[in-house]
Amino acid sequence: MSSSVKNSRILDVLYEAFWAPDFAIGLVTGALGGAFAFYVGISRGRAFTLLLAMTALGAAVVALSVTVMAIVFAFVQGDYYTLLEERTTGGFVGSLRTFKIVAVVGALSIGASFVGALTWNSLPTWAQAVIFGGSVGLTSWALAGSVQLLFLLSWHASKRADLERIRQKAHELLDS
């Protein structure tokens, strides 16, 4: 594989990850969370609780991403696989990119939130704001992405059903 093809795929992934509404939601909420932590301040106990809650939410998003990806795998057989392979950028593997991005963002949310919970007391105020804002941003990005995954799952289900209806109609026409 040439380096220009690899670079193109990397740019496709970055574009899909950062040019999506769920990223914008994460960016705005992260900035607001960081500003709140910096200007208002958050006590040790409250920060620990909130950061551990964000860790749990990140874990739930990763689990949801894997589950939804498994359901999509169940849909993808025969003609639907061929359709995805031919009509999706990157083929069948490319069609799973959104699921992977949401899972990675959820995992980053787990890491940032857990590290923040463990180190909160030892951090200066500006670092607390960065950790808290980053955790809020990653968690809300992951949550918004998981909603997007549910819509994507619904879309795949309807397209799979459409394909089955087309196949049945074709059989009826051929049999008559």
Distance of alpha carbon 27 from alpha carbon 24, whole angstroms:
5
Reply yes or no on whether the pLDDT at 77 is more than 80: no
Tell me the residue range of the domain where 93 lies.
3-175
In a 13 Å sphere around the CA of 147, the CA atoms on its Cβ side amount to: 10
Average pLDDT, the chain: 86
Write out pLDDT tens, residues 111-158: 999 999 999 999 999 999 999 999 999 999 999 999 988 888 888 888
Q: Are 51 and 42 in contact (CB under 8 A)?
A: no
pLDDT level of residue 9 (50, 70, 90 thresholds): low
CA-nearest of 67, 75, 58 to 99 is: 67
pLDDT level of residue 164 (50, 70, 90 thresholds): confident
Q: Which residues make Cβ contacts (< 8 Å) with residue 41, sequence separation at least 6?
A: 125
| Residue 1: predicted pLDDT | 54
| Residue 28: predicted pLDDT | 92
The CB density around residue 105, as the number of other CB atoms within 10 Å, is 28
Domain count, the chain: 1
What is the chain's alpha carbon radius of gyration, rounded to the nearest angstrom?
A: 21
| Residue 23: predicted pLDDT | 87
Reply yes or no on whether the pLDDT at 49 is more than 90: yes
* Direct distance between the N- and C-terminal alpha carbons of the chain, in angstroms, rounded to an integer: 49
